[in-house]
Amino acid sequence: MRTGPDRRTFLGLAAAGAAWSLTGCQACPDPVDRTVPGDLAGTGKPGTTATSAGVPLQPVADVPLAPAGPATITDLLTTPSFYIAHRGSGDNWTEHTLRAYRESAALGIKAIEVSVSATSDGVLICHHDPDLARMTGRDFLISATSLATVATLRNDARAWLGPATGREPVPELQEVLDLLLADTVIFLEDKQGTNQEEILALLAGYPDARDHIVWKQPAQSKAHAEARRNGYTTWGYFGSGTLDGAAAYFDAVDLLGVPALAPTENIRQFVATGKPVIGWEVHRRSERDRLLGLGVRGMMCANAPYVLQREPVAAADAFTTGQRAPGDLPWDADSHWQEQPTFTGSALRMASATTAAYTLGSMGPIQAAEWLLEFELRWPAGVPGQAYGAGIMFALADDSPWRPGQVSGQGGYLLDARPDGRLILYRVDRGSAAGTVLGEAGGAPARAGQWQQFQVAVTAAGISAGRGGTQGLTSTDAAFRGGYFALAKNYDGGPPVEFRNVRTGPAPQPGTAGQACPA
């Protein structure tokens, strides 16, 4: 006969003030590894990653684990699903830099995307925007700036990737071609739309260019015809505002590009042409899975290590590194960096003008059947003067974004820590913006600058949540048991809220809740 408390007893331990935490005591070692070894599951397979429960998360099979020899356009298009590093995978490395291109190629990705503009003295450089303001802080129009001036500047993606990210030079196109053309497919776009003659002349110096260069422009561009006449494969992409008239341009290009978040009916229209379709830009695994399910074969991928499932699933946040972990993303990844929280020491600060969420994809999916999630939060500059607070969305089926107060594309739970000390657990169903209260617990009002620690335990019997290692509320709801979660700011405007020490681990087992540390 089992003598310890069963799961239902554990869920009712609030009255006893049971301690349940991943932290342990000062004299005890931390029971949760900060990162999970890549072969925790004992598979012996190189590149295998694992969750905190030791369940393997296999790398995407269609991309080799390392460069596997020269890749041509034919090699790329004969792969069942293929990946192109968008801006060199700009969610991971400073976009359109030699480092980003090299790192992407080192992952085994066969193709990279390169944007090109010409300086005032006619030198082709790799840069996405028509000016240098966003990336270098200097509001210079590229077409009016000399190469000598550009060479003194550095691309700075710290606002997107974190303060520990290094600044990188703006590369010349010829440098990139010399480094990568022989082994890599390059999707090359004339961003200014005026440099085709110069680009084709430069490519003429590379005998195998037609095997490696895909001419990229909006599908409506007349430059595709000239690229085809010169023997190049063409990729025409469409924006969300040009999808309705897309069919008129399908025959003008060899490959089609559709926004990753386009409506299903539009994507099916593209796939029905029989031409290879590439979704752009892909930040999340959920976007990849949706596109593949609709028959899209190509992924213009901005978050390659994460989408390709090359990173071990972490058991703790990486905020102390000052650099965003692969898979961690704000709810709006296409916001030109405005929605990215900032790193402040060991914490992540959310200070958006609206409600916001930050998915910790680097720590998902948690695949244990029963697990504990722990985090700390504070309001460093004053508590909100409104009803809602901040907390965590959890048990999400995938990593698709879910912003508080907006209609949810998937179901899950929201734990809201209110400024007045209340802790409220909501169930939010798919297609709903409002949640249903499942439980509530009281507590002392929050004070500015005070860190509070919270825990959520998810078991087969239900959900428990509390603060400071003491259980506060419970629910037997079992509708959602996904392994992804997101930090949440549940109010508009200020003040900012900070999070730190986000960790996951196995839920307390029967008979262990409240167990004292050994002397």
Evaluate whether residue 329 is within a structural domain: yes
Average pLDDT over residues 222-241: 98
pLDDT at 478: 95
Asked if residue 283 and residue 398 are part of one domain, the reply reads no
Strand partners, 233: 214
pLDDT at 16: 33
Asked if residue 322 and residue 262 are part of one domain, the reply reads no
Strand partners, 474: 464
Asked if residue 302 and residue 174 are part of one domain, the reply reads yes
pLDDT at 386: 74
Asked if residue 12 and residue 136 are part of one domain, the reply reads no
- Encode pLDDT of 11-40 as tens digits: 333 333 344 556 543 333 333 333 332 222
Per-residue pLDDT band for 55 (boundaries 50, 70, 90) equals low
- Encode pLDDT of 340-399 as tens digits: 999 999 999 999 999 999 999 999 999 788 999 999 999 999 999 878 999 999 999 999
- Encode pLDDT of 451-496 as tens digits: 999 999 999 999 999 998 887 899 999 999 999 999 999 999 999 9
Cα separations in angstroms, 470 against 229, 448, 488: 71, 22, 22
The residue type at 104:
S
Average pLDDT over residues 49-62: 64
| Structural domain of 476 | 7-32+316-506
- For the four alpha carbons of 278, 280, 283 and 284, in that order, the dihedral sign comes to negative
- 133: Cβ contacts below 8 Å, ≥ 6 apart: 139, 140
Asked if residue 147 and residue 207 are part of one domain, the reply reads yes
The residue type at 71:
A
- 217: Cβ contacts below 8 Å, ≥ 6 apart: 189, 190, 193, 223, 224, 234, 235, 236, 237
Domain final residue, candidates 307, 332, 366? 307
CATH code: domain of residue 188: 3.20.20.190
Evaluate whether residue 288 is within a structural domain: yes
Asked if residue 245 and residue 333 are part of one domain, the reply reads no
By DSSP bridging, strand 277-282 and strand 412-417 are: unpaired
Which of 25-34, 251-260, 286-295 is the least confident region?
A: 25-34
Taking the CB of residue 448, how many other CB atoms lie within 10 A of it?
Answer: 12
- Encode pLDDT of 114-157 as tens digits: 999 999 999 999 999 999 999 999 999 999 999 999 999 999 99
- pTM, 2 dp: 0.90
Taking the CB of residue 266, how many other CB atoms lie within 10 A of it?
Answer: 17
Taking the CB of residue 445, how many other CB atoms lie within 10 A of it?
Answer: 11
In this structure, are residues 499 and 374 in contact, taking their beta carbons and an 8 Å threshold?
A: no
In this structure, are residues 19 and 469 in contact, taking their beta carbons and an 8 Å threshold?
A: yes
Helix axes 173-180, 196-203, angle to 10 degrees: 30
- Encode pLDDT of 382-421 as tens digits: 999 878 999 999 999 999 998 999 998 899 999 999 999 9
CATH code: domain of residue 21: 2.60.120.560
E strand intervals along 71-184: 82-85, 111-118, 124-126
Give dist(CA 209, CA 203) in Å, integer.
6
Asked if residue 476 and residue 382 are part of one domain, the reply reads yes
Evaluate whether residue 64 is within a structural domain: no
Evaluate whether residue 61 is within a structural domain: no
- 391: Cβ contacts below 8 Å, ≥ 6 apart: 377, 414, 415, 416, 417, 454, 487, 488, 490
Strand partners, 190: 116
Tally of domains within the chain = 2
pLDDT at 518: 30
